[in-house]
């Protein structure tokens, strides 16, 4: 048996402790056939074998992103991207420029703005843009996806005014004197406007999906663990359509909302044809909001808002419903992952996990906390004891480290994004981005996890520097850790004979690179299942 393809003259990091480095790889039928020296691998080739010369460049397993909103990221690539906006003036100008090409009545959507990174970090208000969007409804998501900014036209369509009550788990921000909505909606209040936005066409979904797949390939992402089915399961329908048409170039582990756990169970029972490209990945829930929006649920009040400890998400009500759903999903064999940001949110969630483990009995369930952002010290040890996985996104540190201390003080920041403490305690760790909340580039996240540098440059030695990780730890979290988080460690996450041939070629030896060099490291090509899906 001869390989379909061989890669030679490479510096290979395998992710396997037994043989961490190699020169060459042979691929047959989508999987790794052999790995070793140039001489060993070249001896396997026939005249039909395709030869790829890595020219001394560095090869890694394909990155596995543990937390994406993949379709939302695709839509953002196709809409107004405000991530690079750095001031009120630039924010207004960007919206005004897009409004010029928008027809009356046509929604202007997009997002990625983060006022905490502006020269003057004030929240936007609808009056900034009402003058030039009088007949154009606007909805622009903040980078954390827990705040939406809308104009008066959008508020009118949603029927939101001074008399509208806050929905459970959400806040309509209001002018302190008049009570009129300012244009800022938090968490569940966002849905009051989102339900008014026309559903994108099938063609637009396909366009966004194609953009997302291309972007992921460029970033060296070969697998994503997605938060799927935000809009009436249209995301899922798009994934299935691309799967059936053999157009997927990224492997998708699709997690749907825990409030609809029965629907995913029905899909499994109906025999949905899962394959290496698309799998149902269990359910995802929410305990709270985000620190940036002041809706992360904290054990003590915010330093900058002494009357508030944040909010529990609407999925936590009525009381006890989250535990009932987790127990039912777990009993049905569905993996469970839950968003928790605040230290009290994480504490409450661990209480629920512990109760469900006792109720349903021992098994390999791999409960996951998405973000695990702010933790009580005792809960780090409890995560390890319970076998709960930390699904973290280090790119958040780059932005949040600029302002988190203003919200919760220096003391609580000591166990914020506590990657080193989690690993030292024995908590399984995986990395991702939360794209489009954070850019999809894994090297940006690795750089941040290694240096703890922040966007404002005020922490040259690192923000909470004792939580830094080594390059090897970061690579493991982005490859093998991700595979373990989706029960796929026997199929991917490292370069080993028999595993899927998901690998990338990068522009420098990242093990020897200075941390700053990671920010300019390029992916030269990406291979998924032995198929080249991106080339620079």
Same domain for 341 and 227, yes or no, is no
Average pLDDT (411-424) is 97
**CATH of residue 168:** 3.10.310.70
* pLDDT tens-digit map of 489-511: 999 999 999 999 999 999 999 99
Q: Is residue 383 part of a domain?
A: yes
* 3-class DSSP state of 536: coil
Whole-number average pLDDT of the chain: 96
Q: Is residue 130 part of a domain?
A: yes
Confidence of residue 37 (pLDDT cuts 50, 70, 90): very high
Same domain for 174 and 81, yes or no, is yes
Same domain for 339 and 454, yes or no, is yes
pLDDT attached to residue 268: 86
Q: Are 289 and 314 in contact (CB under 8 A)?
A: no
Comparing 11 with 268, the larger pLDDT belongs to 11
* pLDDT tens-digit map of 282-302: 999 999 999 988 999 999 999
pLDDT attached to residue 230: 64
Q: Is residue 486 part of a domain?
A: no
Q: Is residue 483 part of a domain?
A: no
Q: Is residue 247 part of a domain?
A: yes
pLDDT attached to residue 472: 97
> Cα angle vertex 22, ends 474, 527, to 5°?
65
Same domain for 385 and 417, yes or no, is yes
Same domain for 269 and 380, yes or no, is no
The b/e string for 170-199 (b: 16+ C-beta within 10 A; e otherwise) is bbbbeeeeeeebbbbbbbbbbbbbbebeee
* 3-class DSSP state of 439: coil
Note down the domain range covering 13: 1-61+492-536
**CATH of residue 400:** 3.20.20.140
Same domain for 340 and 423, yes or no, is yes
pLDDT attached to residue 231: 65
Domain end (from 259, 282, 305): 282
Same domain for 101 and 12, yes or no, is no
Average pLDDT (367-385) is 98
* pLDDT tens-digit map of 462-495: 999 999 999 999 999 999 999 999 999 999 999 9
Same domain for 119 and 81, yes or no, is yes
Answer yes or no: is pLDDT of 239 > 70: yes
Sequence length of the chain is 536
pTM of the model: 0.90
Same domain for 262 and 368, yes or no, is no
pLDDT attached to residue 111: 92
| Residue entry with tokens 């003259």 | 9
Q: How many domains are there within the chain?
A: 4
The b/e string for 67-76 (b: 16+ C-beta within 10 A; e otherwise) is bbbbbbbbbb
Same domain for 99 and 189, yes or no, is yes
**CATH of residue 43:** 2.30.40.10
Does residue 330 have a cis bond before it (omega within 30 degrees)? no
Same domain for 306 and 430, yes or no, is yes
pLDDT attached to residue 166: 96
Q: Is residue 89 part of a domain?
A: yes
Average pLDDT (104-115) is 93
Same domain for 41 and 83, yes or no, is no
């Amino acid at each position: 048996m001869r390989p379909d393809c061989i890669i030679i003259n490479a510096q290979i990091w395998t992710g396997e402790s037994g043989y961490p480095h190699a020169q060459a790889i042979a691929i047959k039928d989508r999987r790794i056939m052999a790995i070793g020296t140039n001489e060993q691998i070249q001896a396997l080739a026939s005249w039909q074998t395709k030869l790829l010369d890595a020219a001394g460049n560095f090869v890694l397993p394909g990155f596995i992103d543990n937390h994406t909103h993949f379709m939302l990221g695709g839509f953002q690539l196709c809409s107004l991207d405000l991530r690079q906006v750095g001031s009120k003036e630039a924010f207004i100008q960007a919206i005004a420029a897009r409004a010029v090409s928008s027809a009356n009545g046509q929604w202007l959507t997009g997002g990625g703005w983060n006022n905490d990174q502006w020269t003057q970090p004030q929240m936007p208000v609808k009056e900034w843009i009402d003058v030039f969007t009088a007949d154009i409804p606007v909805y622009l998501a903040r980078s954390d996806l827990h705040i939406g900014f809308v104009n008066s036209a959008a508020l009118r369509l949603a029927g939101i005014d001074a008399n509208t009550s806050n929905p459970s788990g959400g806040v309509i921000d209001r002018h302190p004197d008049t009570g009129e909505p300012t244009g800022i909606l938090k968490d569940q209040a966002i849905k009051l406007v989102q339900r008014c936005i026309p559903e994108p066409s099938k063609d637009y979904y396909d366009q966004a999906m194609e953009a997302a797949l291309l972007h992921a390939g460029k970033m060296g992402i070969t697998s994503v663990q997605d938060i799927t089915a935000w809009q009436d399961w249209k995301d899922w329908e798009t994934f299935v359509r691309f799967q059936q048409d053999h157009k997927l170039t990224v492997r998708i582990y699709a997690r749907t909302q825990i409030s609809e756990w029965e629907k995913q169970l029905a899909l499994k029972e109906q025999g949905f044809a899962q394959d290496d490209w698309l799998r149902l990945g269990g359910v995802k829930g929410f305990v709270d909001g985000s620190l940036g929006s002041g809706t992360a649920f904290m054990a003590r009040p915010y330093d900058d808002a002494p009357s508030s400890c944040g909010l529990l998400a609407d999925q936590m009500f009525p009381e006890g419903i989250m535990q009932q759903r987790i127990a039912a999903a777990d009993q049905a064999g569905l993996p469970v992952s839950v968003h928790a940001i605040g230290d009290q949110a994480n504490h409450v969630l661990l209480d629920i996990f512990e109760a469900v483990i006792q109720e349903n009995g021992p098994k390999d369930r791999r409960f996951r906390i998405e973000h695990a952002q702010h933790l009580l010290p005792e809960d780090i040890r409890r995560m390890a004891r319970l076998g709960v996985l930390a699904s973290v996104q280090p790119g958040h540190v780059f932005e949040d480290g600029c302002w988190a201390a203003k919200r919760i003080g220096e003391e609580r920041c000591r166990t914020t994004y506590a990657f080193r403490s989690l690993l030292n305690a024995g908590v399984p760790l995986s990395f991702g981005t939360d794209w489009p909340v954070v850019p999809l580039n894994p090297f940006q996240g690795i750089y941040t996890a290694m240096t703890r540098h922040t966007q404002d440059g005020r922490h040259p030695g690192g923000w909470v520097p004792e939580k830094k990780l080594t390059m090897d730890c970061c690579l493991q979290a982005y490859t093998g850790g991700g595979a373990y988080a989706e029960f796929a460690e026997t199929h991917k996450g490292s370069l080993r004979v028999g595993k899927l041939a998901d690998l990338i070629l990068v522009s420098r030896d990242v093990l020897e690179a200075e941390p700053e060099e990671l920010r300019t490291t390029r992916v030269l090509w990406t291979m998924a299942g032995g198929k080249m899906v991106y080339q620079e």
